[in-house]
A and B are shown apart, each in its own frame.
Chain A
Amino acid sequence: MSEPARPAEQASDQQVAPPLLEVRDLKVTFAGRVGLGAGILGRKATQSRAVDGVSLQLRQGEVLALAGESGCGKTTTARAIMGLEPPREGQILFRGKRISKGLRAYRRKVQMIFQDPTGALNPRQTIYESVAEGLRIHRIHQGPHGETEQELVARALSRAGMRPPERFFLNYPHELSGGQRQRVVIAGALVLDPVMLVADEPVSNLDASVRGEILRLLLQVRDDLGLAILVVTHDLGLAWTIADRVAVMYLGRIVEIGPAEGVLTRPLHPYTKALLNVVPEAGGLDRPILKGEPPDPTRIPPGCRFHPRCPEVATGAARAAGVEEKCRGEDLGLMELRPGHFAACHLAAVTVGESREISTSQPQG
């Protein structure tokens, strides 16, 4: 696969080409339930700050991986971007306009790929109907060049690798394999000629030998059609395979974001380092593993939210560098520590040398 020239071009044109998608300080909270008795006693429901101030940008033709463990808020962020979760604060801008105004038109241009391809297809609908659904919802009876609905569906299935497409029209989802179902979901997304895809764990439910083909399909779609893709995944190996940029999330915030090579081979944030350490490899388990589990989003620690589990704090490296006070007490946002590579870490800020603090309302991603 040749390297696409687009991201490098974008870097130099940064001032010229505005980002396709811009998320500014997004916050999504879920309220817990309060029992009747507790409610009478005046206890308020615990707030779960699933997404607690996320900002990012996605450019045309770019693949951005949103990585992290479960509960870090990556799926909620993706759903908010799709308009499926109402944000409590913050803005989501598509081509400069807020998506809340014109949600329906937005949904034609941005499509979602789901984690579970079996659940994502209505078992009572044929493949044809599942793919054509988008067209019917938006009342598109003809393609831009006069194609019929049938031709559009065939083309989408073909692009997704189901050939010859007509053979699959009358099949039901349960007659296909997992990989084929995911291709159908992708076809359903492509049929509307979107400009952006949001893929939530697109291959984690599929067999390992089938994953590569689906990932290759996504890359091909990006190369041929110029789509931007936001991939939510817990698998850093996947990010290494297909992403141009990687954003690592922890407890509702992005803690590191930058080019994939940089983030995955020269990580700045201790959490990223810890995640990379535990990617299985021969003899890997002797490297340090974080203790405990990710805390839940209803009880976010003060200061740097990672400090209770941070190995740099535990081993005294933070104290040696004189930043331990800040780690425990001072919350922080992303800082550009290398060109295009941001991290939210007091220690990294000191050790990497020159750092420019950028206000949290507008970090460049």
Chain B
Amino acid sequence: MSLLSVRDLFVNYHTQGGPVPAVRGVDVEIGKGEVLGLAGESGCGKSTIAGALLRLLPTGTEVTGSILLNGEDVLGMKPGRLRAVRWTETSIVFQGAMHALNPVQRVGEQIEEAILIHQQAGEREARVRVGSLLEHVGLPERRIRDYPHELSGGQKQRVMIAMALACNPSLIIADEPTTALDVMVQAQVLKLLKELQREFGLAMLFITHDLSVLIEVCDRLAIMYAGRIVEEGPAQSVFYESAHPYTRALAAAFPAIGEGRFRRAPSGLPGDPPYPQDLPDGCTFHPRCPVAFEACPHIDPRLFDVTPAWRAACLLVDSAKSELEGARTRGSGR
């Protein structure tokens, strides 16, 4: 049984201008010990998914669908159960750790807080656990007594990771955990995450806009565009052989140094990622797609199988073509 199973997730924000569909029908599945990467640009809905999984979205946001965590429906949980589940079964590493830490509280106390809230241990035992957590993330134990401002960006992020591990969760949601960091520190943190994942057998949902980072850490990749997953499959296949033109374009934005074909040949997409309030008809990607054809503005593709474990929402996928043909001969194509 998979650890996390999301089906038909829809999230609508309520704004002054009306409801804004941030997530429009997403299915996600993460098994024990598996690392899934979720990539996409601004406005695609990936951070919304992170919030939805633990019901951390602003009140009034409409969330429909089913989110099963270890078989339990998160959306139906009573507040008491939800609070118990938060952090002990699933925890989050946020973007911008600098702001997530209380500046007037010592770092060790903040980690302890997580343990004590969930009554996982008494005070003395908690302190010992905090010490060992810090060592696990590569910080010396004496850092327990430091205040956040005494730590560097990378060190603060390590503290956030320690905090996420505090209650032995089985799933960690990492939302842009390395975006604000320097490349070298980013590499250190990624390495740390990978090691911890192996050591504790953690499942991870790794959310970022930086596709190249995901290649290093993830088993599977899902690419989001305009509130939907447009491609999903094994990380190597999705990145290097992308079936969806958007993935191809996104991957091209992270060129491999040393490959001549990228030299003086920047490639990007015209236009901009669409606003959720203002989505194009048919395939939402078609206005920017380099290989769009006549059917694209009229048909909104679902995820078609490229291989059984790899799917893409594009009419150019082989299995889609046969369906298109079928639709045309039946005369129901527009």
Decide yes or no whether B150 CB sits under 8 A from chain A: no
The residue of chain B having its C-beta at the shortest distance from the C-beta of A239 within the complex is: B257
Decide yes or no whether A274 CB sits under 8 A from chain B: yes
* CB < 8 Å neighbour of A177 from B209, B253, B256, B272: B272
CB neighbours of A284 from chain B (8 A): 216
Is B266 a contact of A211 with CB atoms below 8 Å?
yes
Is A208 a contact of B41 with CB atoms below 8 Å?
yes
Decide yes or no whether B265 CB sits under 8 A from chain A: yes
Is B184 a contact of A242 with CB atoms below 8 Å?
no
CB neighbours of A212 from chain B (8 A): 249, 252-253, 266-269
What separation, in Å, do the CA atoms of A36 and B121 have in the docked complex? 47
Decide yes or no whether B279 CB sits under 8 A from chain A: no
Decide yes or no whether B306 CB sits under 8 A from chain A: no
The residue of chain A having its C-beta at the shortest distance from the C-beta of B211 within the complex is: A208
Is B264 a contact of A3 with CB atoms below 8 Å?
yes
Contact with B along A185-223 (1 / 0, CB 8 A): 000000000000000000000011111111110010000
Is B253 a contact of A278 with CB atoms below 8 Å?
no
Q: How far is the CB of B262 from chain A (nearest CB, A)?
A: 6
Decide yes or no whether B270 CB sits under 8 A from chain A: yes
Contact with A along B194-217 (1 / 0, CB 8 A): 100000000000000111110111
**Within residues 170 to 213 of chain B, which ones have a CB less than 8 A from any CB in chain A?**
182-188, 190-191, 194, 209-213
Decide yes or no whether A316 CB sits under 8 A from chain B: no
Contact with B along A280-313 (1 / 0, CB 8 A): 1111110001110110000000000000000000
CB neighbours of B61 from chain A (8 A): none
What separation, in Å, do the CA atoms of A264 and B262 have in the docked complex? 13
What separation, in Å, do the CA atoms of A133 and B211 have in the docked complex? 38
Decide yes or no whether B330 CB sits under 8 A from chain A: no
**Within residues 194 to 252 of chain B, which ones have a CB less than 8 A from any CB in chain A?**
194, 209-213, 215-217, 235-236, 239, 246, 249-250, 252
CB neighbours of A219 from chain B (8 A): 264, 266
What separation, in Å, do the CA atoms of A240 and B253 have in the docked complex? 12
Contact with B along A323-363 (1 / 0, CB 8 A): 00000000000000000000000000000000000000000
The answer to whether A210 and B272 touch (CB under 8 A), given A241-B264, A274-B184, is yes
Decide yes or no whether B33 CB sits under 8 A from chain A: no
What separation, in Å, do the CA atoms of A58 and B252 have in the docked complex? 29
Number of interchain pairs (Cβ within 8 Å) = 137
What separation, in Å, do the CA atoms of A209 and B250 have in the docked complex? 6
The answer to whether A207 and B257 touch (CB under 8 A), given A179-B272, A216-B268, A284-B216, is no
Decide yes or no whether A84 CB sits under 8 A from chain B: no
Decide yes or no whether A320 CB sits under 8 A from chain B: no
Decide yes or no whether B154 CB sits under 8 A from chain A: yes
The answer to whether A180 and B268 touch (CB under 8 A), given A69-B183, A275-B183, is no
The residue of chain B having its C-beta at the shortest distance from the C-beta of A283 within the complex is: B216
Is A289 a contact of B269 with CB atoms below 8 Å?
no
Is A237 a contact of B257 with CB atoms below 8 Å?
yes
Decide yes or no whether B263 CB sits under 8 A from chain A: yes
* CB < 8 Å neighbour of A281 from B194, B212, B265: B212
CB neighbours of B152 from chain A (8 A): 293
Is B254 a contact of A208 with CB atoms below 8 Å?
yes
Decide yes or no whether A131 CB sits under 8 A from chain B: no
CB neighbours of A134 from chain B (8 A): none
Is A213 a contact of B262 with CB atoms below 8 Å?
no
CB neighbours of B272 from chain A (8 A): 177-180, 207, 210
The answer to whether A213 and B182 touch (CB under 8 A), given A208-B253, A280-B212, A289-B187, is no
The answer to whether A234 and B182 touch (CB under 8 A), given A208-B250, A285-B191, A289-B191, is yes
Is B264 a contact of A211 with CB atoms below 8 Å?
no
What separation, in Å, do the CA atoms of A1 and B249 have in the docked complex? 17
> Taking chain A's interface residues, is the majority helix, strand, or loop, or is none over half, making it mixed?
helix
Is B190 a contact of A285 with CB atoms below 8 Å?
yes
The interface centre, meaning the residue of A4, A214, A293 with most chain B CB atoms within 10 A of its CB, is A293
The residue of chain B having its C-beta at the shortest distance from the C-beta of A243 within the complex is: B264
Decide yes or no whether A82 CB sits under 8 A from chain B: no
The answer to whether A285 and B268 touch (CB under 8 A), given A208-B41, A237-B255, A280-B212, is no
Q: How far is the CB of A197 from chain B (nearest CB, A)?
A: 16
Decide yes or no whether A148 CB sits under 8 A from chain B: no
The answer to whether A211 and B253 touch (CB under 8 A), given A69-B182, A289-B188, is yes
Decide yes or no whether B273 CB sits under 8 A from chain A: yes
Is A213 a contact of B270 with CB atoms below 8 Å?
yes
The residue of chain A having its C-beta at the shortest distance from the C-beta of B42 within the complex is: A207
* CB < 8 Å neighbour of A234 from B183, B188, B236, B262: B183
**Within residues 41 to 77 of chain A, which ones have a CB less than 8 A from any CB in chain B?**
69-70
Decide yes or no whether A315 CB sits under 8 A from chain B: no
Is A264 a contact of B257 with CB atoms below 8 Å?
yes
What separation, in Å, do the CA atoms of A3 and B260 have in the docked complex? 12
What separation, in Å, do the CA atoms of A179 and B273 have in the docked complex? 10
Decide yes or no whether B80 CB sits under 8 A from chain A: no
Q: How far is the CB of B220 from chain A (nearest CB, A)?
A: 13
Enumerate chain A interface residues (CB-CB to B < 8 A).
1, 3-4, 69-70, 177-180, 207-216, 219, 234, 236-237, 240-242, 260-261, 264-265, 274-285, 289-291, 293-294
Enumerate chain B interface residues (CB-CB to A < 8 A).
41-42, 152, 154, 182-188, 190-191, 194, 209-213, 215-217, 235-236, 239, 246, 249-250, 252-258, 262-270, 272-273, 288
Q: Which 9 A-B pairs have the closest CB atoms?
A: A212-B268, A215-B266, A278-B187, A280-B212, A177-B272, A213-B268, A207-B41, A208-B253, A209-B269
22 contacts between A and B (CB under 8 A): A3-B264, A69-B183, A208-B254, A211-B253, A213-B269, A214-B268, A219-B266, A236-B257, A237-B255, A237-B256, A237-B257, A241-B263, A265-B257, A278-B183, A281-B212, A281-B216, A284-B216, A285-B190, A289-B184, A291-B188, A293-B185, A294-B184
